Amino acid sequence: MKKNYVKSNVCQIDDLTCFGCCGNNYKTKDEVLIGIKKNTKEFEDWISLEKPVKDFLRRMRFVRDCGVCFSVIEKDGKVFCPGHPELNNGNDLREGHCDIHYLCKTAYFYKEWDDKKKEKFIKFIKSKNLEWYEFSIGMDNDSLLKEFEDDKKYF
């Protein structure tokens, strides 16, 4: 496995992105996608008016009926928060708008693992061929962590 796959943040693995901590009580994939599409349209309109991304993120205090944060958007098949530090050269534009220090159980443990175990986890995730919704829900509810820890071939 390539060394660049070992990242300090497991929320974004190549084309696979997680929104698990960006809301709560998620509904179906279709309902979440409708909410994200609304957010994306509103974000595009916002940016077209040359308004700062940071001001758009004030919406983070609220979630749509589908459970996803008002700031989560989709671009090029990736679902993400436009304020995330990995998208802003390390600057966390979410600060002051959401709990930037929260980590799901999976991300918390991943952060503590050595590079070898991180590589194994990423290989495990990639082997599952997950879509953004399954990845996000599996990260959020810890089912991917449990399945990884129970799979003896990774240990």
0.95 exceeded by pTM:
no
pLDDT for 26 beyond 90: yes
Q: What are phi and psi of 28, to 5 degrees?
A: -70, 165
Non-local CB neighbours of 97 within 8 Å, separated by 6+ positions: 57, 58, 60, 61, 71, 83
Give me the residues paired with residue 12 across strands.
17
For 155, the token pair is 């240990």
Q: What are phi and psi of 111, to 5 degrees?
A: -60, -30
pLDDT band at 6 (very low <50, low <70, confident <90, very high): low
Average pLDDT over residues 23-46: 96
pLDDT digits (tens, 9 = 90+) for 112-125: 999 999 999 999 99
